[in-house]
């Protein structure tokens, strides 16, 4: 009866080391890939949010301009206004025969913008104040 070898040949040990090295390298590559993907998704979401926010701001500015034209023509601030960009609502904060303060709000997706405008109306409309409230 021949005694069995208690040690493994050197080629088997180096094979295990190679497999473990490959597994570690793959784990690092997957981790870096997931990190880069997560950052890319976050940047894309921020970019989309900024775009939607700018769209809401453009819409509310457009609505204010149309509201001021109607205020100049009729002396009244309409409660809602529709432009080619979308619809807005106006809230009359205060009004006298020669001045009005109103807040115009617009929403694009989940993004809302509001601007408060104070204007005097005599022979024409003069904007006294234009403040973004959110």
Distance CA 111, CA 104 (A): 14
Range with top average pLDDT, 10-24, 40-54, 101-115: 101-115
Q: Is residue 43 part of a domain?
A: yes
Measure Cα distances from 33 to 30, 37, 42, 78, 83 in Å: 5, 6, 14, 54, 45
Q: Is residue 2 part of a domain?
A: no
For residue 11, is pLDDT > 70?
no
Q: What is the pLDDT of residues 86-100, one digit of tens each?
A: 899 999 999 998 999
What is the chain's mean pLDDT, rounded? 88
Which helix (H) or strand (E) covers residue 11, if one does? Answer: helix 10-74
Q: Is residue 3 part of a domain?
A: no
Total tally of structural domains belonging to the chain: 1
Distance CA 81, CA 84 (A): 10
Q: Is residue 90 part of a domain?
A: yes
Q: Is residue 124 part of a domain?
A: yes
- Host domain of residue 48: 11-132
C-alpha dihedral over 115, 118, 120, 124, to 10 degrees?
Answer: -10
């Amino acid at each position: 009866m021949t005694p069995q070898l208690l040690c493994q040949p050197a080629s088997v040990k180096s094979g295990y080391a190679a497999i473990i090295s490959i597994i570690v390298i793959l784990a690092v590559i997957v981790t870096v890939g997931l990190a880069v993907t997560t950052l890319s998704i976050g940047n894309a979401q921020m970019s989309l949010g900024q775009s939607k926010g700018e769209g809401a701001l453009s819409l509310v500015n457009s609505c204010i301009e149309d509201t001021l034209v109607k205020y100049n023509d009729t002396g009244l601030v309409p409660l809602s206004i529709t432009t080619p960009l979308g619809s807005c609502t106006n809230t009359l904060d205060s009004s006298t025969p020669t001045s009005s303060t109103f807040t115009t709000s617009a929403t694009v997706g989940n993004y809302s913008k509001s601007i408060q405008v104070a204007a005097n109306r005599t022979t024409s409309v003069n904007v006294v104040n234009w403040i973004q409230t959110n």
